[in-house]
Amino acid sequence: MGASEIYAGAQNGSLKALYVLAADPIGDGLLANRGKLDFLVVQELFLTETAKAADVVLPAQSWAERDGTFTNGERRVQRYYPAITAVGECWPDWKICATLHEKLGGEKAAVAASLIFKKGIAKAVKPYAQMDYGTLAKVEKQFPDVGGEDLYYGGTSYDNGHGLGQVWASAAEKGAVSLVEVPEVKTAAPKGLALVRAAALYTPGTLINRSAVLAPRLAQPQLFLNEADAEPLRISTGDVVTVTVNGRKLELSAYVNGHAPEGTAVVRGVPHVQGVLAAQIEKNK
């Protein structure tokens, strides 16, 4: 089942129980109250609207309270460490899931994130096969040695005692790379436009919404239209429009340019809009 089918099932009663992890479908307007669910479990950092409606809330730790790894866009895997003491009785997400799995008759839960990485990720995902927490924590003496005081040459005055990390090879370094054909996007409805969601680096969410530093950088709800589609609708850049998709109404700011293909509307800054969907667009009066 996809997300839309899950929410529809919760709403009409065909789905009896739901386990929500790090999502807020009620707060995002995807689920009215808790629908007709008999039982709702939410695993979350904060008491979101969905968590408030839950029968059971499992408090999770933030990245600052636990250890783990990050993999950036340049394929560098780095280890990170707890920065603050865990608040209350919250657990890391992996520990909550592993403990539930054990209680339901599965194998004994791992006791550390390092074991999850070694026995889970490193075995299942080939690029991580030669990595473990020991190799990720390895450091080398800086060269040239600038004494940890000169930011110009050293880049930082802090000594790195946590590890340089490792970089896994790209597909281009392993031989031939197969080409992927991108299907042509066609209008999804005779009287509408095909709505496609474009990913953005920073989008609204339960955790990121609390950052004053990132607030100005969040992708705002916006609709990109081709001039040929915008003209008959009398829509110009800056106009506020209402987009109806799957029975849901979205209020977005329009941006008219030549980047969106004719017959296609591109939406950004709106969560949980996936795939190519038929949409009706109207300019607000």
Question: What confidence category does residue 78 fall into, taking pLDDT thresholds of 50, 70 and 90?
Answer: very high
For the ranges 1-5, 18-22, 174-178, the one whose mean pLDDT is highest: 18-22
The predicted-structure confidence for 254-280, as pLDDT tens digits, reads as follows 999 877 888 888 888 876 555 556 778
Q: Is the pTM of this model over 0.85?
A: no
Q: Name the more confident of 146 and 139.
A: 139
For the residues of 94-122, what is the DSSP string, one character each? Answer: HHHHHHHHHHTT-SPPPSSHHHHIIIIIH
Coil/strand/helix, residue 186 = coil
Locus of tokens 């950088």: 217
Burial of 273 (0-12, 13-18, 19+ CB in 10 A): buried
The predicted-structure confidence for 183-229, as pLDDT tens digits, reads as follows 665 544 445 688 888 878 887 777 788 888 988 888 888 899 999 98
Question: CATH classification of 193-283, choosing from 1.20.1560.10, 1.10.10.60, 3.40.630.30, 2.40.40.20?
Answer: 2.40.40.20
CA distance 6 to 20: 11
First to last CA, the chain: 38
Domain with CATH 2.40.40.20 in the chain: 193-283
CA distance 256 to 241: 12
CA distance 223 to 56: 37
Residue among 221, 222, 227 nearest 263 (CA)? 227
For the ranges 4-18, 148-162, 194-208, 249-263, the one whose mean pLDDT is highest: 4-18
